[in-house]
Amino acid sequence: MKELPIGISTFPELIQKGYVYVDKTGIIYTIISKKKYYFLNRPRRFGKSLLISTFNAIFTGNKDLFVDLAISTMPYDWQTYPIISISFAGISSTTPEALENGIKRYVQKIAKQYLCILKEGTSGEMLQELVETLAKQNSVVLLVDEYDYPILQHIHDNRTAVKMRDILKNFYGVIKDLDQHLRFVFFTGVSKFANTSLFSGLNNLQDIGLKPEYNNLLGYTATEITHYFEQHIIKTANKMGCSVEQLLIDITTWYDGYQFTIEDNATKIYNPFSVLLFLDNKRFSNYWFQTGTPTFLINLLKTKNYPIQDFEYIEATENDLNIFDIDTIPLKTLLFQTGYITISHYNPKTRNYILTYPNRETTDSLIEYIFTSMTHQSGAHLNNMVADLNHAFEHDDYAHLQKILFKKMNR
């Protein structure tokens, strides 16, 4: 039985050490064969970094890593390209100055790997020189992971966030004029900032975030879970003393439900991180909230005083889902892009998306967080209160119900 790839975001390591790999290379082949410039946003812990690493392995021409995977049966030429792969999660962004200097060091480090010496300049100028130099070998692949990380770390501080945005805007702004030197460009992140605020100089990125053909690119489908994790599911069902059929129903309730396209018949997506940790621990829990909740979301909920609303049925336009700017961050946009609500269906008459909780994990987590923020009570207190209320309703004990409510009102 293959090991579960928990915390593994490096494609060569995953393949060489025999971890379970859910094959997405058929969709990846479509991406690298169609267009040159791409943008994809997805919630944290959905496999964006592994996707970037997979692109990296493909463009280095490492065909041996892809034996028996879908792309090995397709007419790809397996050329080797110079690759500039940047993860902004690995660059200091404590201050605007730290960010600019950190980008320079990161670009300089990549240059040294290719035995290039860059002149000192702005981060954008150094990137431009590196691309032009590497393009003498072959056209260049540019991969950017966590493109929005420095902004999101300071999104609750408008002044600093704007400075971070301006640095990134200048850095990304040199890319468009390098078109003749580039083979492929791919950006990933959590949020989608408006082109006018961050990508005004790079307006040729194709946004595939809501494209139907890429709905399944990240995360797991039900078919993939039963195929790739069959032995783990059987072992978990035996451990938990239930049937495989019941276990799959419960996994669906807890971790399924994400949709990243408007199609009503679209395949629902499971949270990959939570599924892996559940199969490892053999216990249902809110794994994603504990490790995948971005700090910026918590800070914004605390500082922006968003009105509490019903998250089970929210109407939104396509603009609502896509607009994310430092000065304008609607709550529904924030929760959709961070993965706490998702697309339920699309109304073609009104042209509105209907958003709701994807699953039990996100429902429990968001309700508990809002409760603790508003009342300053612990999650354990909420659980005890819910249990008391359930008991009162199940036994038609209205005297006890009155006692509970009176007690809460007088706290």
Q: Are residues 67 and 105 in the same domain?
A: yes
Asked whether residue 56 is domain-assigned, the answer is: yes
Alpha-carbon gap, residue 263 to 169, rounded angstroms: 33
Asked whether residue 368 is domain-assigned, the answer is: yes
Q: Which CATH number characterizes residue 90's domain?
A: 3.40.50
Asked whether residue 149 is domain-assigned, the answer is: yes
Alpha-carbon gap, residue 56 to 82, rounded angstroms: 10
**Domain ranges, residue 41:** 11-214
Looking at 199, 214, 229, the residue that finishes a domain is 214
Alpha-carbon gap, residue 282 to 33, rounded angstroms: 40
Give DSSP secondary structure letters for 339-386.
Answer: TSSEEEEEETTTTEEEEE--SHHHHHHHHHHHHHHHH---HHHHHHHH
Asked whether residue 246 is domain-assigned, the answer is: yes
Asked whether residue 410 is domain-assigned, the answer is: no
Q: Is 206 strand, coil or helix?
A: strand
The predicted-structure confidence for 123-156, as pLDDT tens digits, reads as follows 999 999 999 999 999 999 999 999 999 998 898 8
Share of the chain above pLDDT 90, in %: 66
Alpha-carbon gap, residue 297 to 333, rounded angstroms: 11
Asked whether residue 80 is domain-assigned, the answer is: yes
Q: Are residues 103 and 182 in the same domain?
A: yes
Q: What pLDDT, on the 0 to 100 scale, is given for residue 391? A: 80
Q: Is 102 strand, coil or helix?
A: helix
Question: Shortest CA distance to 86 belongs to which of 74, 98, 104?
Answer: 104
Asked whether residue 142 is domain-assigned, the answer is: yes
Q: Are residues 25 and 170 in the same domain?
A: yes
Q: What pLDDT, on the 0 to 100 scale, is given for residue 29? A: 98
Q: Are residues 159 and 24 in the same domain?
A: yes
Q: Are residues 344 and 259 in the same domain?
A: yes
Q: What pLDDT, on the 0 to 100 scale, is given for residue 292? A: 59
Asked whether residue 403 is domain-assigned, the answer is: no
Q: Are residues 165 and 127 in the same domain?
A: yes
The predicted-structure confidence for 320-370, as pLDDT tens digits, reads as follows 887 777 777 778 888 898 898 999 988 889 999 999 999 999 988 877 776
Q: Are residues 253 and 344 in the same domain?
A: yes
Q: What pLDDT, on the 0 to 100 scale, is given for residue 126? A: 98
Looking at 170, 194, 214, the residue that finishes a domain is 214
Q: Is residue 107's pLDDT more than 70?
A: yes
Q: Are residues 40 and 183 in the same domain?
A: yes
Q: Is residue 408's pLDDT more than 90?
A: no
Alpha-carbon gap, residue 85 to 87, rounded angstroms: 7
Q: Are residues 140 and 286 in the same domain?
A: no
Q: Are residues 202 and 276 in the same domain?
A: no
Residue 87 parent element (H or E): strand 83-87
249 Cβ contact partners less than 8 Å away, ≥ 6 residues apart: none
Q: Are residues 158 and 272 in the same domain?
A: no
Number of domains in the chain: 2
> Over the range 172-190, which residues count as b (16 or more CB within 10 Å of their CB) and which as e?
bbbbbebeebbbbbbbbbb
Q: Are residues 186 and 290 in the same domain?
A: no
Mean pLDDT over the full length of the chain: 89
Token pair belonging to 101: 């200097």
